[in-house]
Amino acid sequence: MLNELSKLKNINWEKVDVTLVDERFVDESSNRSNAKMIKENLLINEVKEASFFPLFLGANSLNEQAIEQMSHQQKYIKKPFDIVALGMGLDGHTASFFPNVKNLHQALNSTRLVMAIKASDGEERITLTFPYLISAKNIYLHIEGKKNNKY
């Protein structure tokens, strides 16, 4: 899907900002990085002219300072978002809104743009909060039928 989108010519990609809904707290060199997936599959061909704003900025730990730095960068992106594309995990989560995690209520109701959250398996993640996602002009949910081990 992303590869096909990267070939669209009828969009002025220089005026498009791309960011992530959520990200694992891993460097872009990791195969688990959503930023790596976006760079390899979307920010190619025509879309290479778009501006990309990753969530993970190379901090050593997912602390308040790291979250503020990520929030500051995201302020440059026009809101409300024109389009939000959400993927659904095998356990039914979207964004990093995992059932039964400590700060799920905060992620769903926060006035903050970005926050840290731990997945059900304890993996640290960064997510845009629900109020910013739900305010998007268009929201799409991508669901795959088979387990995909690539990301």
Q: Does any domain span residue 147?
A: no
Residues 6+ apart with CB under 8 A from 134: none
For residue 72, give its domain range: 2-142
| Identity of residue 52 | F
Give per-residue pLDDT as tens, 42-52: 999 999 999 99
Give per-residue pLDDT as tens, 124-137: 999 999 999 999 99
Tell me how many domains the chain contains. 1
Q: Does any domain span residue 133?
A: yes
Q: Does any domain span residue 151?
A: no
Question: pTM of this prediction?
Answer: 0.86
Q: Does any domain span residue 137?
A: yes
Phi, psi (5° rounding) for residue 143?
-125, 135
Q: Does any domain span residue 44?
A: yes
Q: Does any domain span residue 148?
A: no
Q: In CATH, what number is assigned to the domain containing residue 30?
A: 3.40.50.1360
Q: How confident is the model at residue 151 (pLDDT cuts 50, 70, 90)?
A: very low
